[in-house]
């Protein structure tokens, strides 16, 4: 692995070797001595420094051929992997349920989001349980936003490995787009001191609890290990990357895979808190299933799943349309954000057009949608943002397409 990193990353000093392979000095030093003894590396000395970390090395011709053969067998060239047993132990040590969620923390996470108190009172126990949650209700009322705020309630830093090793196979786990790294306060990474290398295991990345969201693109294959036939290593599936955090299945029921097949895939993990993955060699192994799974749908839950599966979702939270009072408060907040004055006359006109003329239920997305369109029209007309009857009409017409009258045959 060290030789592959030297070749692919074009590194040449001990300091760079340690940073690439994420192992401490005493291990890297031993590997270097082995490579020199086998005439795979040769010493180039140091440049203007007596620090052993700045000692540089270069590949010999034999080392280059030897490394190319190693890359042909396994192209993975990254930080040293963690044994799967250590990974499982660490996942179990950093469960979501280690954190106690209080009413105050939920309110802080919700912030300015306009949510009824009964939903907040349901969110807390659901988060403390760490069990799966079903969120349902008509579209446009903020189910995805609520799920994001729910995930942000958790504050702990967890540790995610760059890669894990199972039966000689390497699985890449760390994903910078999912695992947001946290810099340890007071640690100077540029020092590269022997002491720091001995004290910490750099193969683990301190991160915020991950939040993974998938929608209609989800397939069953995305929940299995993905084998790279060229590189001969694996990419961890989405739910493995979400361990210790939240996995949101958005728009549930609209995936490429049928709801029944997807639910059958999740029954065992949700019940036993253990999932099983399979290598291309046929070898199966288990990993903890310690994450918060949220199913979010605007379809009828009874149409998507049978009673047996509904029983396995102990928390079911309905996110319905706002009341008139909440609708007004959302409008006022959005108007303040856009510097638009909301009069009683304008608000009453909007309510009448939405409810009576269009026959629509209130939805939490409508205030921002209507105000954005009114402001865009005002800018086009070269006028300051304000509500004008025809501008309101244009905006509300875009909430719903006109239905054509039936043609007489």
Task: For the chain, give the number of residues.
Answer: 409
Taking 60 as the threshold, does the pLDDT of residue 406 lie above it?
A: no
> How open is the CA angle 401-352-327, to the nearest 5 degrees?
90
Does residue 150 sit in helix, strand or coil? helix
Alpha helices in 101-253 (DSSP H): 103-110, 117-129, 143-151, 194-199, 238-241
Q: Residue 122 is encoded by which pair of tokens?
A: 């349901």
Q: What is the pTM (predicted TM-score) of this model?
A: 0.86
pLDDT of residue 400: 79
Average pLDDT, the chain: 89
pLDDT band at 380; cut points 50, 70, 90: very high
Question: What are the tens digits of pLDDT across the range 46-73?
Answer: 766 667 888 899 999 999 999 999 999 9
Query: Which DSSP state fits 280?
Result: T
From 41-50, 218-227, 272-281, the region with the lowest mean pLDDT: 41-50
Find where tokens 């396994």 sit: 74
Question: What are the tens digits of pLDDT across the range 182-224?
Answer: 986 434 444 443 334 446 899 999 999 999 999 888 888 889 9
Order of strands across the sheet that contains 133-136? 211-214, 246-249, 292-297, 133-136, 315-318
Question: CB-based contacts of 111: which residues, under 8 Å, 6+ apart?
Answer: 149
198 — phi, psi (to 5°)? Answer: -75, -30
Question: CB-based contacts of 157: which residues, under 8 Å, 6+ apart?
Answer: 182, 206, 207, 208
pLDDT (average), residues 11-18: 94
Query: Which of 143, 90, 76 is CA-nearest to residue 301?
Result: 143
């Amino acid at each position: 692995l060290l030789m592959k990193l030297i070749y692919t990353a074009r590194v040449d000093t001990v300091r760079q070797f340690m940073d690439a392979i994420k192992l401490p000095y005493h291990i890297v030093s031993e590997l270097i001595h082995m490579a020199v003894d086998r005439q795979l590396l040769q010493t180039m000395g140091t440049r203007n420094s007596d620090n052993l970390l700045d000692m540089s090395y270069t590949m010999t011709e034999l080392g280059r051929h030897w490394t190319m053969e190693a890359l042909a067998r396994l192209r993975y060239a990254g930080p040293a992997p963690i044994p799967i047993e250590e990974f499982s132990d660490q996942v179990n040590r950093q469960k979501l349920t280690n954190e106690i969620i209080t009413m105050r923390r939920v309110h802080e996470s919700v912030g300015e989001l306009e949510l009824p108190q009964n939903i907040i009172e349901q969110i807390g126990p659901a988060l403390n349980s760490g069990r799966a949650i079903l969120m349902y209700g008509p579209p446009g009322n903020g189910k995805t936003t609520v799920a994001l705020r729910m995930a942000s309630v958790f504050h702990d830093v967890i540790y995610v490995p760059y890669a894990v090793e199972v039966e000689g196979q390497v699985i890449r786990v760390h994903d910078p787009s999912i695992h947001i790294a946290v810099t340890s306060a007071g640690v100077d990474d540029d020092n590269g001191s022997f002491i720091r290398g001995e004290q910490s295991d750099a193969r683990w990345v301190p991160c915020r609890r991950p939040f993974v969201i998938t929608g209609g693109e989800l397939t069953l294959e995305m929940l299995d290990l993905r084998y790279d036939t060229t590189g001969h290593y694996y990419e961890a599936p989405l739910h493995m990357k979400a361990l210790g955090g939240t996995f949101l299945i958005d728009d549930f029921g609209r995936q490429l895979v049928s709801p029944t097949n997807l639910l059958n895939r999740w029954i065992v993990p949700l019940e036993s808190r253990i999932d099983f993955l399979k290598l291309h060699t046929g070898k199966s192994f288990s990993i903890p299933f310690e994450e918060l799974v949220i199913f979010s749908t605007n379809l009828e839950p009874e149409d998507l799943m049978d009673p047996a599966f509904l029983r396995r979702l102990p928390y079911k939270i309905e996110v319905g349309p706002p009341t008139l009072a909440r609708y007004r408060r959302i409008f006022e907040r959005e108007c303040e954000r856009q510097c638009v004055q909301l009069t009683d006359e304008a608000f009453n006109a909007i309510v009448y057009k939405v409810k009576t003329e269009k026959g629509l239920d209130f939805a939490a997305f409508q205030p921002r949608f209507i105000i954005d369109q009114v402001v865009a029209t005002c800018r086009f007309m070269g006028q300051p943002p304000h509500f004008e009857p025809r501008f309101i009409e244009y905006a509300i017409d875009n909430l719903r397409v006109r239905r054509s009258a039936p043609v007489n045959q």
